[in-house]
Chains A and B, each alone.
Chain A
C-alpha cells in the first residue's frame, strides 16, 4: 500500500515535470523540469520494484546509472544555455522570444 502511494507519487511527479517542461520557456527552467521528470520516473520504477516486499536491487542500480546520466545531461544543457546567453543575450530559444 505504502509502495503504491510512492508509485503514484512518481507518476504525478512525471506529470508535473512534463507540464513544466512544456510550459516554461526559460531554458534553465526546462533543465529543472527535466530533472523533475527524471526523478519522477526513478521513483516510479523504484516503487514498482519494491512491491514484492524485499527491494529489487536491479532497479536501484538502473536508477543510480540514470541519475548520473541525468546529471551529465543537465551539466551540458546548463553550459549550452550559458554559452547561448553569452552569444545572443537570450535566455530562451529564438522562437520562444516574444
Chain B
C-alpha cells in the first residue's frame, strides 16, 4: 500500500518536474515548479524528515516560487527557443543512470544517526536536527547565514546608482481598500505567531530558525506588498543592524568560547557552555530568525528600484 503511494507520489513529482522543465511558457513552468516543490515536501514527510519538509515547502517551493513569479511579472513575454536537445538529454540521462546505479550499489547504511542521537541532549537540543545545525555543525550554519548576507549584498549591489538608498524592491502602490490590503491586515498576526512558534518548538520538535524565519519573511513581504508599512531604506542603519544581528550574536558567542578556551579546558570556539546550552541555543535561534526573516524578505523584494 505504502509502496503504491510512494510510486504514485514519485510519478507526480517526476511529472511535475518534467512539466516545469519543458512547459511551453515560463509562467506555466514556474507554476509547475511550485506544485513540484509541494510534492517534494510530501516526499520528505514520507522520509520522516519534518524539518526538511517544512524548509522545502517554505523556501524551496514558497519563496523560490514567489521569486520566479515576481521576476516573470517584470519580463516581456518572449517566445522561448531552447537549444538542441540531444546532447543535454544524453548528459541528463547518463547522470541519472549513473546515480541510480550508485544508489543501488551503496553499501548498507553508514550514517551517523545513532551517534547524533546519543550526543544531542548534551548539546542543548532534543531535536537531533537542531543539535546538528546549531552544535555539531554550527560552523556550517554560521557560514550559511553569511551566505544569505552575501547574496543580499550582491542583490543590492545590482541597483542602479540613481536608486541606491531607496527601500528594497519596487515602490508599492496599493489601493487601501483592496483585497491585498485586507489580507495584509489579517494574515500578519497569524503568521507572526506561527513563525515564532516554529522557532521555539525547533529545539525539541521539528522547526527552527530557517523555517520560522521564512514564515516571518512571508509576513513581512505581505505587509510591504499590501502597503501597510513602508520598508526601510537599504542604507538604514536599523535595517542593517537587524540583518547582521543573528550572525553577529552567533559569532560573538563563538568567540567568547575561543577566548575562554585559553584558560578553561572545556571551552572552545563555537562551543556553548553545557549548563546554559539550551537557553543560549534558543537565544541564538531567535536572533538568527529575525535576521533570516529580514534577509529573506529583502532578497525576494530585490534591489531598490526607482522605476517600474
Interface residues of A (CB under 8 A from B): 1-26, 28-29, 31-33, 35-36, 38-40, 42-44, 46-65, 67-76, 78-83, 85-86, 91, 96, 98
Residue B33 at the chain A interface, CB threshold 8 Å: yes
Q: Could you tell me if B26 and A8 are in contact, using CB atoms closer than 8 angstroms?
A: no
CB closest residue in chain A, given B71: A78
Q: Could you tell me if B75 and A48 are in contact, using CB atoms closer than 8 angstroms?
A: no
Q: Could you tell me if A67 and B56 are in contact, using CB atoms closer than 8 angstroms?
A: yes
- Determine the chain B residues whose CB is within 8 A of the CB of A81 once the complex forms: 71
CB closest residue in chain B, given A69: B147
CB closest residue in chain B, given A16: B17
20 other A-B residue contacts (CB within 8 Å) besides A22-B91, A28-B75: A7-B103, A15-B92, A18-B88, A22-B83, A23-B88, A25-B83, A29-B26, A32-B33, A39-B37, A43-B43, A46-B49, A57-B128, A60-B129, A61-B140, A64-B51, A64-B129, A72-B147, A76-B154, A79-B302, A91-B76
CB closest residue in chain B, given A38: B60
Give Cα distance in the complex from A16 to B26, angstroms.
17
Task: List B residues 143-175 near A (Cβ within 8 Å).
Answer: 144, 147-148, 150-152, 154-155, 158, 160
- Determine the chain B residues whose CB is within 8 A of the CB of A15 once the complex forms: 92-93, 95-97, 99
Task: List B residues 64-90 near A (Cβ within 8 Å).
Answer: 64, 67-68, 71-72, 74-76, 78, 80-85, 87-89
Q: Could you tell me if A5 and B3 are in contact, using CB atoms closer than 8 angstroms?
A: yes
- Determine the chain B residues whose CB is within 8 A of the CB of A38 once the complex forms: 60
Q: Could you tell me if A5 and B10 are in contact, using CB atoms closer than 8 angstroms?
A: yes
Give Cα distance in the complex from A1 to B99, angstroms.
17
Q: Could you tell me if B95 and A18 are in contact, using CB atoms closer than 8 angstroms?
A: yes
Residue B290 at the chain A interface, CB threshold 8 Å: no
